[in-house]
Structure formats: C-alpha cells, structure tokens
Amino acid sequence: MANTDQDILGRADVNDLEAIMAISNTDVDEAIHAVRDNADAIFTWDYEKGARPALNKLYEKAKTAQWNGETDLDWSIEVDPSRVIVGLQGSNSAGPFEALAQMDDSPFKNFGDKEWDELGVESLNWRLSQFMHGEQGALICTAKIVETVPWIDAKYYASTQVMDEARHVEVFAKYIDTKLDGFYPINAHLKLLLDDIIEDSRWDMTYLGMQIMVEGLALAAFGFMYQIVDEPLLKQLLRYVMSDEARHVAFGVLSLKEYYAELTDAELRERQEFAFEAAVRMRDRFLQQEVWDRMGIDKRKVMHMLLQVPPEEMIFQQMLFSKIVPNCKKLGLLDASGGWLRKRFEEIGVIQFEDWVDTGEEYLAFDAVSQDREAAEAAAS
Ligand SMILES: [Fe+2]
Ligand SMILES: [Fe+2]
C-alpha cells in the first residue's frame, strides 16, 4: 500500500512550520554521532574488470584525476569574509532575502548595510559548514557502497570516491578554519536525511540518497557559487571539488539506470518516495534556521515568510534541483507509478528542469584537474 505524506515525511502538510521547526539537532555538543548502517558487507567472486564498461571508464578517469588539497590550492591567499559576500550578493547587499524586507512585519524591516553584511557573513559560514558536513556524509556513504554493492567495477570506482570525499571534507574544513570566522553544527534536516540514507539496508538507497539527491544538489550549489564568487581560493576550491562531484553523480546515474530497469512498479514507488523525502529535507535545510537563531532573529517569523514566497521567486533554491530532476527522469523515477514523483516535483515547483542535461556523461566537460595539467604541460614545453 502506498504511503501518505505523514508516513514519508512525519507530517501531513509539506509546509507545516511547527513540524519543520520540531526537527532539531540535539547533539551539537557531542564530538561523535553514531548511526546503525543495517547492511551486510558483500564479497563478490566475480572479478571480471570492465564487465560494466561505463563504470570502468569512470574508475580509470578517477585514478588520473586525483588532486592534493594541500598542494594544488594556493592557501597563501588572504581572505576577507566580508569581501567574499560582496562577490556572492553582487551589488545588492541584501542578497536573496531582500524580498522579505518589503513584507509587512518583517524582521528585516530596519536592516541597514551593517545588518545585511552580518547576515551575508553568517550565511556564508553556514553554507560552507553544511557543505563540509554533507561531504562527510558522502565519505561515509561511499565507504558503505564499497561494502554493499555487488559489482566489482562499482566497488573499484566507489573506493576512488572515498578518497575524493576525504579530500573534500579536508579542504572545506581547512577553508572554514583558516579563512572564515565562524562554524556551524550540522543542520537538523541535513542530519536527518543523512541518517535515513545510512540506516537504509538496501544498497541502491545509499546511491539514490547520496549520489543522486545530495550530490546532485551539491553539484548545482557548487556550480552556482562558483559562477558568482570572485575570491580566488574559494573559486578554485569549488572548481576542483565540482570536477570530482560530476563523476560522483555520473556513478549514481550509470549504476541505478541498470538496476532500476529491473525493479517492479511497487519497488520503484518506494524509490520515488525516498527521493521526494530527500527533496523536502533539502528544501527545509535551506530555511537555514541556525542562522536566524545565531543572529537573534525570530526564526518562526522568517521561516514562515520564506515558505510563503512562491517557488518561482526563489531562484537559488530552485536552481539546486537543476541536476536532480533530469537525473530522476533518466532513471525512470518521474513517471513510474502513475507519475507520482512528477506530481510531487510539480508541487514543490521544480519540474521545469526535467529536460535539462543529465549527469551521465557531463563529468568529461567538468574535468578541471586534467585541463589545468594539460595547460601546465603546454606552458612548460
Ligand atoms: Fe564531495
Ligand atoms: Fe561527491
């Protein structure tokens, strides 16, 4: 029997603010967080390399595209966080929250340049902190995939991704620690999503949750930030991380395409529901409740206002789905089970991306590391 939103999300109304706010991070003072991963570690005795040529190609590419976060980025660059946000917000110091200042009873009503700058810096600290926590989620998920996926080509490839993700956690942590002034604990909704992904016993759910949903969002978010930021260290960091992420999302698309072709409609419906749950958790995350708390702003009021803004006016939030939706389409998830996921993506205002380029092959165009090496070799000869 199909699940209701209450079953999937723990609330009957997607926009139920009290239920969204009731999800909180209770272990901000702990140094570790334990999650049961509920899965068997799978050996395979079929060692035929290249039985899945697309995964083998990805694995070979990953071996030659490794980079070193300590030496391939110029950490001597000095960073002024308040300058970084000027690049991020353009000429408009209020940035994406300007529309809210016009609303009646807005907590931003009396904001001047100083307050908008402070919000810009806090949002930057928050965003990069969440990127870092998400990268650790990816590190743990891909280590799990090495254990649980039954195909040797996928185990090989996933092992390169474990190294990629370690590097990503490392470089974001170093940037936050040495260049910014402020760290945020993991957002409650992101934490809930990562826990759900890791707890699921089915190997393909790790892929769907992490490679398709979380990494699809990350690839779009990094791309968006890369285009608008002009701080050179962060720009290069994002460029290199994206070059890896494009492979990661491709890994998800290529693996699940094969597997989902054989699932029943009822099994696909479970995947659709999981994808929808992940999409809602990620939308909830971008209400950035921790920032409002830290700034002493009434978070109930701001989050309520944010939920009132029509989706088409939330350009940044919408763009975050520009990789996820075409990839779900390619996997057959939009239209299985009577188009259930298509309807849900219509409701949250992101279906317009369905025919954008999917990420099955896009990684070749993203390969910044090889491009730089070729340019350096050409310059040397
Ligand atoms: Fe990553
Ligand atoms: Fe990744």
User: What is the pLDDT averaged over residues 243-268?
Assistant: 94
Say how many Å lie between the CA of residue 59 and the centre of ligand 2: 14
User: What is the pLDDT averaged over residues 290-308?
Assistant: 92
Tokens (6 digits) for 180: 């910014």
> Terminus-to-terminus CA distance in the chain, angstroms?
66
The predicted structure's pLDDT at residue 102: 82
Say how many Å lie between the CA of residue 248 and the centre of ligand 2: 5
Residues around ion ligand 2, judged by CB within 5 A, are: 138, 215, 245, 248
Say how many Å lie between the CA of residue 245 and the centre of ligand 2: 5
Taking 70 as the threshold, does the pLDDT of residue 96 lie above it? Answer: no
The predicted structure's pLDDT at residue 93: 55
Say how many Å lie between the CA of residue 288 and the centre of ligand 1: 21
Residues around ion ligand 1, judged by CB within 5 A, are: 135, 138, 165, 168
Q: Which residues of 85-108 are buried (b: 16+ CB within 10 A; e: fewer)?
A: bbebbeeebbebbeebeeeeebbb
Q: Cα(108)–Cα(106) distance, rounded to whole angstroms?
A: 5
Residues 6+ apart with CB under 8 A from 136: 165, 169
Ligand nearest to the CA of 134: 1
pTM over 0.85: yes
Say how many Å lie between the CA of residue 210 and the centre of ligand 2: 8
Ligand nearest to the CA of 167: 1
Say how many Å lie between the CA of residue 251 and the centre of ligand 2: 10
Position 243: which residue type? S
Ligand nearest to the CA of 247: 2
Work out the mean pLDDT of the chain and round it to a whole number. 92
Residues 6+ apart with CB under 8 A from 208: 252, 256, 271, 274, 275, 278
Taking 70 as the threshold, does the pLDDT of residue 130 lie above it? Answer: yes
Say how many Å lie between the CA of residue 236 and the centre of ligand 2: 17
Position 192: which residue type? L
Say how many Å lie between the CA of residue 2 and the centre of ligand 2: 31
The predicted structure's pLDDT at residue 88: 67
| Phi and psi at residue 22, to the nearest 5° | -70, -20
Taking 80 as the threshold, does the pLDDT of residue 299 lie above it? Answer: yes
User: What is the pLDDT averaged over residues 236-244?
Assistant: 96
Say how many Å lie between the CA of residue 362 and the centre of ligand 1: 16
Task: Convert the pLDDT of each residue in 179-223 to its tens digit.
Answer: 998 899 999 999 999 999 999 999 999 999 999 999 999 999 999
Top pLDDT among 281 and 90 is at 281
Task: Convert the pLDDT of each residue in 335-377 to its tens digit.
Answer: 999 999 999 999 988 999 999 988 777 788 888 888 899 899 9
Q: What DSSP string describes 183-231?
A: --PPPHHHHHHHHHHHH--SHHHHIIIIIIIIHHHHHHHHHHHHHH---
Taking 60 as the threshold, does the pLDDT of residue 91 lie above it? Answer: no
The predicted structure's pLDDT at residue 309: 83
Say how many Å lie between the CA of residue 333 and the centre of ligand 2: 21
